[in-house]
A and B are shown apart, each in its own frame.
Chain A
């Protein structure tokens, strides 16, 4: 086929409906695109809001301290973040498929407003694909990039959510018309004869409702086979979950963190220093001789897995009192792990004073294993797993 004919056949007119030229599926439909867009908007917005909450935990703001309660809040929000991200994969692909004729429009637009809108769509598509890809890769601990996942994911999230706002405004009239349900709405066959004959009549293939339900089923199946990494009731169905929460997983092993020698050394000490009346130093035996407290707390990883366990150790607030720290002080907790962005974690005054914030030595009645943070780890309510610092060696009162 000559090139001009090919171009004519496989490109589209931006001012005509989705279903045109080579793209004749009745599923190329405004109403379907609007429903998929709405679903994607809800999923991405949920991811954005819960992602901001996670970011706030990891990059605390002095004027907006994160509360220590409810204890399982981070588990809920981050589980939701990852579950919505996973569920958005089929919806994003379906949306891109339905609106594909728009991507091959020629000319791309006939007005300045068209060019502005398409630039926003470019940001939306590249951002959306990157967010889903990087999120899925991250939970499988696949890092084929040289940049920081958290920084890239976070800043691209802003770009994507901004593009969603612009896209919503651009498509508001079309989406509103497509989603509006009116008792007097004409049958599709009357409103759009070409589309209506095949989309509403019986034919051999998925109709619009069937396609939507199938995409919803795809999201549902993906959710069911993964969400058991945080929902204990669905654990047995979590065949594609990157972690088995029943095995009490860890994000980073002691060997990989390079701390095995320091953590098992008889020279190990915990130091409590900073703005205290009496700087203190403890051996592991000293710590175990202190009054112990047991708390049932979840550990919730940014990667979406979580589990509840019984942690036993000394209360952080008791240690601070022993050292003579002022009431309501915040602290930094430091790990033996070197050269890690999570070597130091911040514990605000709410969390430091919480009776369940512990420097734990035991997990479910057993001494901590090296991978779980032996000899000492921080565990507190409503904190991301990466901030439940393992292999703790220093507490600095701020």
Chain B
């Protein structure tokens, strides 16, 4: 399946860079431990690990699953536009999550989170989808997609291969 891939030799640059990088990492870890009243190292470590675990076991599988779903279910000629919309709107939704939940309101600061972020997120997503759709429409009118479809034949697995076909 995969082509041969030469394993890179670990030269002097690797070890010098690793030593320098780890010196800085250890400085950071020392800072965390030295200022433990502020950093609460055990709690901070939970957030470090928790973030990676949430990414690896929740976000990444969800994105992989969406990718497979797009590859299997989305019509071929709409696939690019759908991928573009998802790649742009996903981070927008993640960013807006704490605003939509309105956690800052507990601080009783009237100037914090002044907008209706649910509505605004929908407006931005709507604008993104419109822009992507217009772009796809213009490309299709230009004949690119029609020509492409005629040349390629059956759809490829462009996101992840479905089980059993690898």
Q: Which residues of A contact B (CB under 8 A)?
A: 1, 9, 13, 15-17, 19-26, 86, 89-90, 93-94, 96-97, 100, 103, 111, 113, 116-117, 120, 122-123, 125-127, 129-130, 133-134, 136-137, 140-148, 150-152, 154-170, 172-174, 192-195, 198, 201-206, 210-211, 214-215, 217-218, 221-222, 225-226, 239-244, 247-253, 255-256, 371
Which of A204, A221, A239 is the one whose CB lies under 8 Å from B120?
A239
* Nearest CB on A from B111, distance (A): 4
A117 to B25, CA, bound (A): 13
The residue in B29, B91, B94, B156 that gathers the most chain A C-beta atoms within 10 A of its C-beta is B91
Q: Interface on chain A toward B: helix, strand, loop, or mixed SS? A: helix
The contact size tier of chain B is 35 or more
| With contact pairs A125-B52, A159-B28, A222-B95 given, residues A202 and B148 touching in the complex (Cβ less than 8 Å) | yes
Bound Cα distance from A24 to B166, whole angstroms: 8
Q: How far is the CA of A271 from the CA of B101 in the complex (A)?
A: 43
The 19 listed contacts between A and B (C-beta, < 8 Å) are A13-B2, A17-B5, A22-B166, A25-B157, A113-B10, A134-B47, A140-B113, A145-B47, A146-B40, A147-B43, A151-B38, A168-B17, A174-B8, A194-B3, A214-B84, A222-B91, A240-B117, A243-B112, A247-B111
Name which residue of chain A comes closest to B108, CB basis.
A256
CA distance A179 to B14 in the complex (A): 18
Taking a contact as CB atoms under 8 Å apart, the answer to whether B21 and A253 are in contact is: no
How many A-B pairs with Cβ below 8 Å?
298
Give me 4 other A-B pairs in contact (C-beta within 8 A), A93-B59, A169-B18, A218-B87 excluded: A23-B160, A25-B160, A204-B76, A218-B92
A162 to B151, CA, bound (A): 48
Chain A nearest CB from B160 CB (Å) reads 6
Q: Provide the bound-state CA to CA distance between A141 and B106, in Å.
A: 9
Name B17's contact: one of A25, A170, A239, A241 (CB within 8 Å).
A170
In the bound complex, do residue A172 and residue B17 qualify as a contact, i.e. CB atoms below 8 Å apart?
yes
**In the complex, which residues 120-166 of chain B have their Cβ closer than 8 Å to any Cβ of chain A?**
120-121, 123-124, 128, 148, 151-152, 155-161, 163, 166
At the interface, yes or no: B73 with Cβ under 8 Å from chain A? no
Using known A-B contacts A89-B95, A126-B48, A211-B87, determine if residue A20 contacts B1 with beta carbons closer than 8 Å. yes
CB pair A253 B107 closer than 8 Å: yes
Q: Considering only CB atoms, which chain A residue lies closest to B148 in the complex?
A: A202
Contact call B7/A15, Cβ cutoff below 8 A: yes
Given A140-B103, A155-B31, the answer on whether A126 and B52 have CB atoms closer than 8 Å is: yes
Q: How far is the CA of A51 from the CA of B18 in the complex (A)?
A: 23
Residue B58 at the A interface, CB < 8 A?
no
Q: A25 with B51: in contact, given A147-B40, A159-B25, A222-B91 (CB under 8 Å)?
A: no
Known: A17-B3, A203-B152. A158 touches B109 (CB 8 A): no
Question: Does B60 lie within 8 Å of A1, measured CB to CB?
Answer: no
Given contacts A133-B51, A214-B83, A247-B114, contact A205 B71 (CB under 8 A): yes
Task: Say yes or no: A244 contacts B114, CB within 8 Å.
Answer: yes
**Inter-chain contacts of A146 with B (CB < 8 A):** 40, 43
B111's partner among A100, A194, A244, A255 (CB-CB below 8 A) is A244
